[in-house]
Amino acid sequence: MALLSVHDLHVYLGESHVLQGITFDVREGGVTAILGRNGVGKTTTLRALMGLVDRRGTIEFGGTDIRQVPTHKIVRLGVGYVPEDRDVFAALTVDENLRLAERGAETRYDLVYDLFPELRDRGKQAAGTLSGGQQQMLAIGRALLNDNRVLLVDEPTKGLSPLLVTEVAVALERVSELTTVLLVEQNLGLVQRVAHDAVVLDTGRVVHAGPAKELLENKPMVHRMLGVG
Amino acid sequence: MSTFLLLTITGLGLGAMYFLIASGLSLIYGLMGVLNFAHGVFITVTGYTLWFTESKLGGVPVLPRFLIAALVGLIVGTVFAALVELVLIRPLYGRHIEQVLVTVGVALAVTALVTAIWGSDARVVAAPAWVGDTTTIFGAHIPNDRWLEIGTAAVVLFALEAFLRRTRYGLIVRAGVENRSMVTALGIDVRRSFTLVFAIGGLAAGIAAVLYTLYSTTVDPQQGTSLVIFAFIVVVIGGLGSIRGTAWAAVIVGLVQQYANYYASSGLGDLSVVLLLGIVLIARPSGLSRSFA
């Protein structure tokens, strides 16, 4: 059974019909990647799932329709979110950013510091003064702090050096052993490494959904759908 | 020397008053994006509640009478501010034009209501005698109420900083000023903080109302509106959402106003503040807060 089911999801941003009735499932465990060229609605899909934009259609999470549920309650159902631009709170310290993300008594600081030891060392540093890679670690760490059932991760490697991309990939692999991940990513190398399933979007519609390996090994298909390879 | 000292202390007193009003305005705009034109009536509501309560406590000595009346005024002003957020502002989040219209409407309606019930003439409040006296320092006769204004503003600044830095709600407010939707995306119902920030803003404005009543020994329907205009200027100069920026801007505005009124010409104080606002807006449109950080 799918952990997350999206059916006929529509989103309008101003005059633009960004998501035009997308339908896909995310199975429990592992990583499902959302792929597609720039501007096809990948980020909007995650924002719609989080309730951060107005949307129409059905979104079922663990069998519950969450379309009418406000964002903070969606999160409390066990949905973690790592946004595209990290959105760490620049004026707050690393410790304060993490503390803000705490929900309930049981937090997983051990896991966060195990994956990203730098966050412990830089606890008193203002998040706005961290490098891009460190901010990404903080954004992921913040989402990992609670025992979420699914993590929505939006382009975690955007703007990172190859070394940091590897570090993020290792973290995602580790995370995917603990929880389900819905990953938006342009880096196909990373997708190949971590994803089990893939959903491909094109101009606001799902044009392919299935095992990631099957898609990525089919070079003509990758070229046609993603414009690479 | 004694004149300069007098102007400086009275300027700081004026700045303290502006800070108390502007701090709430700044937090409200920073967190919620609400331009609260009803902020002045928080002062009016507190002031009139103070006067009304005091007028009903005849026979009680002046000091306890004033303190009881001030406490009642602060409670009513704070509850009023929270109710404005809950009943009028909350249904309109994200609709900025409607919010501005509602807050302007509240300001006009409350002022009109107060005028209709108690008239437009100022009402006299009996203040403790010590407040009306002066303390002489280096030849300057400093009115005692100015020490009270400066001391109270310093305590409020310290308390606000402690709230923002040491409590979870303070953390939420600071984060919300930066990125409200991301706070929500961490599972936090940020609307609860909205009511709290409105109540804190109402309380700080109410404290300013109490101090202003001590200074003027009167309340009148327009005093909230006139004070809040300079508070808005302070907020813009200090940087929206920054308490420290607001504090520094309040001090600068208070001093500039006093010095200009004395050394240039009486009445030029207001103009010089508007000029200062213009210069800051041109040179640093986001306000001075980063300079103070």
Q: Which two tokens stand for residue B97?
A: 């034009």
- The verdict on A72 touching B (C-beta cutoff 8 Å) is yes
Q: Give pLDDT, residue B290.
A: 58
B152 residue type, one letter: T
Burial category of B121 from C-beta neighbours within 10 Å (exposed 0-12, middle 13-18, buried 19 and up): exposed
pLDDT digits over B263-292, tens only?
Answer: 998 888 889 999 999 999 999 888 887 544
User: Taking CB atoms and an 8 Å limit, are B171 and A76 in contact across chains?
Assistant: no
Give percent of chain A above pLDDT 70: 99
Residue B174 to residue A91, Cβ atoms within 8 A: yes
Q: Residue B121 — very low, low, confident or very high, per pLDDT cuts 50/70/90?
A: very high
User: Residue B16 is encoded by which pair of tokens?
Assistant: 């303290």
Residue B41 has a pLDDT of 95
Q: Which CATH architecture has domain B2-292?
A: Orthogonal Bundle (1.10)
- B174 interaction partners in chain A (CB closer than 8 Å): 89, 91-92, 96
More confident residue, B186 or B293: B186
Nearest C-alpha in A relative to B173: A100
pLDDT tens for residues A11-53?
Answer: 999 889 999 999 999 999 999 999 998 889 999 999 999 999 9
The closest CB to that of A71, out of B171, B179, B184, belongs to: B184
* CATH 3.40.50.300 is the classification of domain A2-226: yes
Q: A25-30: list long-range contacts, CB under 8 Å, 24+ apart.
A: A25/A209, A26/A2, A26/A150, A26/A180, A26/A182, A26/A197, A27/A2, A27/A3, A27/A180, A27/A196, A27/A197, A28/A1, A28/A2, A28/A3, A28/A180, A29/A176, A29/A180, A30/A176, A30/A180, A30/A181, A30/A195, A30/A196, A30/A197
Which chain B positions have a beta carbon within 8 Å of A87's beta carbon?
Answer: 179, 182, 185
CA distance A130 to A118: 11
What is the nearest CA distance from A92 to chain B, expressed in angstroms?
7
In A, which residues are within 8 Å of B189 by CB distance? 70, 72
Nearest to A99 among B171, B181, B183 (CB): B171
Q: Write down the pLDDT at residue B186.
A: 96
Contact yes or no for B222/B204 (Cβ under 8 A):
no
For B135-169, the pLDDT digits (tens) are 999 989 999 999 999 999 999 999 999 999 999 99
- Number of A–B residue contacts, CB under 8 Å: 55
Judged by CB atoms closer than 8 Å, whether chains meet at A89 and B186 is answered as no
Residues of B in contact with A128 (CB under 8 A): none
ipTM score of the complex? 0.91
- How many C-beta atoms surround the C-beta of residue B170 within 10 A? 17
Q: Which residues of chain B are within 8 Å of residue A50 when distances are taken between CB atoms?
A: 185
Contacting residues of B for A76, CB less than 8 Å apart: 187
| Burial class (CB within 10 angstroms; exposed 0-12, middle 13-18, buried 19+) of A124 | exposed
Q: Determine how β-strand A180-184 pairs with β-strand A31-35.
A: parallel
Task: Tell whether B185 is within 8 A of chain A (Cβ).
Answer: yes
Assess contact for A115 and A174: CB atoms under 8 A: yes
Q: What pLDDT was estimated at residue A229?
A: 61
Report whether B160 contacts B23 (CB < 8 A): yes
A87 in contact with B at a CB cutoff of 8 Å?
A: yes
> Is A75's CB within 8 Å of B182's CB?
no
pLDDT tens readout for residues B59-68: 899 999 999 9
Q: Judge: A103–B187 Cβ closer than 8 Å, yes or no.
A: yes
Interface touch A72/B188, C-beta < 8 Å: yes
pLDDT score recorded for residue B199:
95
- Whole-model pTM: value is 0.85
- Distance in Å, alpha carbon of A75 to nearest chain B alpha carbon: 5
Are B178 and A50 a contacting pair at CB < 8 A? no
**pLDDT at residue A89 is higher than 60:** yes
Has residue A181 got a pLDDT over 90? yes
Mark yes or no for CB contact B175/A50 under 8 Å. no
Interface test with B, best of A44, A87, A145, A151 (most B CBs within 10 A): A87
Sorted by where each begins, the domain ranges of chain B are 2-292
Position A225 scores a pLDDT of 77
Cβ distance of A89 and B172 shorter than 8 Å: no
**Which residues on neighbouring strands pair with residue A126, listed in sequence order?**
A93
Query: Per residue in A196-208, pLDDT tens?
Result: 999 999 989 999 8
Cβ-Cβ contacts under 8 Å for A207 (sequence gap 6 or more): A200, A201, A225
| Closest C-alpha among B122, B148, B9, B157 to residue B70 | B148
Determine, for residues B185 and A81 on separate chains, whether the beta-carbon distance falls below 8 Å: yes
Q: Does B183 touch chain A (CB under 8 A)?
A: yes
Asked if A92 lies within 8 A of B175 by C-beta distance, the reply is: yes
Q: What dihedral angle (degrees, nearest 10) is formed by the CA atoms of B204, B206, B208, B210?
A: -140
